Amino acid sequence: MLSIIIPARNAAAEIANTLDAYITFVTANFGPDFEIIVVPNDCSDDTVDIAEAYCKKHDMMKSKVIVDSIGKGGAILEGFKISNGNIISFVDADGSTGPEELLKLVRQVGDSQVVVGSRWLPESRILIKQPLIRRLASRGFNLLVRQLFGLPLRDTQCGAKVFLRQALADVAGELSTTKFAFDVELLYRLKKKGYTIVEVPTVWENKPRSTLNLWGAIPEMFWAIMKVRLMDSPFRRFIPGPRPAEKG
């Protein structure tokens, strides 16, 4: 059983196309044993209505609406709570990763308990590139992550990731962040638990509707990953907010 979790915030412009593509392709190439869980959060557009309309039309669809802003990571964890799959995956609502690429990752789960898509391997293909400044920021962020966490991955932020259920369940209660540093902390804690993580080249397409304010996001992203790293240091008592051990 495969669970595909799609966190969605104001994704009305693209969510229908993404769902159509995934329902059609996964049904034809994987079979009936899958579910798609859309988790709209803090939406002020028609995302919730679209998701609920698809749930009424398709038996494999679920939706869990969160009124507040809980971040991408928070939405993924809420989706995980109502999932049934022994393989858990998540992708972005804008369709930047196509269903054929997700199934490529799914087929590599086994000896590797965690499989992540990567935009920065030599074999990766970027159909539509991000603006240069976004690419530079992404590479700088990855370099910092590699130095701080020892993660031997070129791309921690690609939206397509697949896990054996037990692996994700093992660390879900320890996660302390649900926003910019979610993917980093998730992979870091999986690595610390000894799970095998493999990075697979993917085909990816930048979607120009992103509303991310890069200059405002950079300091927030920096603090977020520093906070995660400090949580595992002698200085953790000086970090505000709940400790990982206090969650779940």
First to last CA, the chain: 24
pLDDT at 248: 36
What is the extent of the structural domain holding 61? 2-246
pLDDT at 219: 75
pLDDT at 131: 74
Token pair of 220 as six digits: 């927030």
pLDDT at 200: 96
Tell me the C-alpha distance between 39 and 206, whole Å.
Answer: 22
pLDDT at 179: 85
Count of domains observed in the chain? 1
pLDDT at 209: 61
Report which residue type is found at 45.
D
Q: Within the chain, which residues score under 50 in pLDDT? A: 244-248
pLDDT at 11: 96
pLDDT at 233: 62
Question: From the centroid of its chain, how far is CA 191?
Answer: 16
Contacts of 172 (CB under 8 A, 6+ apart): 77, 80, 248
Q: pTM for the full model? A: 0.88
> ∠ at Cα 214 (208, 215), nearest 5°?
150
Closest by CA position to 181, among listed 224, 240, 132: 224
Give the C-alpha distances (Å, rounded to integers) separating 153 from 33, 90, 178: 30, 18, 20
Q: What is the CATH number of the domain that holds 226?
A: 3.90.550.10
pLDDT at 134: 72
pLDDT at 237: 53
